[in-house]
Amino acid sequence: MNFQDRRVKILVGLCVLLCLVVGYRIFDNIQKNKERAARINKGREVAVETALPKRVTIVPKMIFSGSLDPEWQAEVAPKVDGRIEKVFVKEGDKVTKGQVLATLEQVDIDAEVLKARSEYVEAKTNLRKAARDLERYEKLYQAGAVSEQTVDDYRFAHENADAQLNAALGNLRGKESSLSGTNIVAPADGIIAKRYFQEGYYAKSGNVLFAIADISTLKTVINIPEGQIAGVAVGNEAKITLPAFENREIIGKITSIAPVADLPAHTFSTEISVDNPEGLRAGVFATVKLVAEPRDNVLTIPMHAIVMRDDQKTVYVVDEENKVSRRVLAVGYCNEEYAEILSGLKDGEVIVTRGQNKLREGSKIKVDKVEKEDKAGK
């Protein structure tokens, strides 16, 4: 081993030794800081306010936003291509089921229908002739005047004539359907919400010509969180406020609640309907207020006791040694004052209601006051 190699090994050894010394010093400082913090915290008691969960009667009140839409609405389009010959309605007109809204030009289709009828009549005549021929030749065959092959030919001719009659009938019905399709009719009672084209426009099959809506009943759909769905039932009243009509209030009723929650939001789609005898305009913004059935003996805590951690609602619970631990809660109905506790907390457990910002897991507290459980309703 030459001098250069020994020098490299010595330098490497010194670097390793230096790293070990520095690493040890860092580790030793960290441990000393932890011990120092533990000694400080051991003797420190954080002053907080505490309380006990309360059993109360709650009357859930909920506010949602939505729009007041028609109970029923549909778009009307022609079944056939054609130029719009006449339009009989305008936007805002009331229409009844089956009423003709517009007509398409019928000249070409009329000609096609006449041709189809002629072909149908001709096919009927051919079938009658084929039937008479078959009957005649069957008698001749029985008398031994013609061969079996000749009779078979007339049987095939009769079957062919029958098939041609069915084809002609199908073609005629199709043409007559197209002719009836030149009349654009209302599928149900309602009003003309929108008219898209004027007379003279060439409409293709499927082009929407009119939008029809039934506004005799209006509806709004809201999404109720699963924590607030208890006590909400079909038939419950809802107060609906309409800002577009100077905050006018009308009363609706819940007509349906989805049996399965929408995921991942965990909300229940709820439909509220309201009669509209005055013809209020549809599609306006609405604020919906619901009052659910009262619920007795519900476990609640103050809203200000809840601490949000990683999008979870938590609360600090105090043990017998006045130390706190954070507990994740399942929360139901909430308002500005209190929150309904579904799980995560029991009766008699002391919780921190103020001073949570000074706490961490395992902190020791100094209890200023414990509020006794109150059975009074809210």
Interval 296-340: pLDDT, tens: 999 999 999 999 988 899 999 999 888 999 999 998 888 889 999
What single string gives the DSSP state of each residue in 29-43?
HHHHHHHHHHHHHHH
User: How far is it, in rounded angstroms, from Cα 128 to Cα 131?
Assistant: 5
The pLDDT value recorded for residue 42 is 52
Mean of pLDDT over the chain: 85
Q: Which fold has domain 106-181?
A: Helix Hairpins (1.10.287)
106-181 matches 62-71+214-295 in CATH topology: no
Closest CA to 365 of 328, 324, 314: 324
Q: Which fold has domain 46-56+297-371?
A: 2.40.420
* 347 or 377, greater pLDDT: 347
pLDDT at 5: 67
Tens of pLDDT, residue by residue over 118-169, are 888 888 888 898 899 888 888 888 888 888 898 888 889 899 988 998 888 8
Per-residue confidence (pLDDT) for residue 179, from 0 to 100: 59
- pLDDT grade, residue 38 (50/70/90)? low
Reported as a pLDDT band with limits 50, 70 and 90, residue 109 is low
How far, in whole angstroms, is CA 112 from its chain's centroid?
47
Do residues 253 and 210 touch, judged by C-beta distance below 8 A?
no
Span 205-210, mean pLDDT?
90
Domain range summary for the chain, segments of one domain joined by + = 1-43, 46-56+297-371, 62-71+214-295, 106-181
CB 175 within 8 A of CB 116: yes
Assign domain 62-71+214-295 one CATH number from 3.30.750.24, 3.40.50.1220, 2.60.40.10, 2.40.30.170: 2.40.30.170
> Global pTM?
0.57
Structure-token pair, residue 15: 């670097």
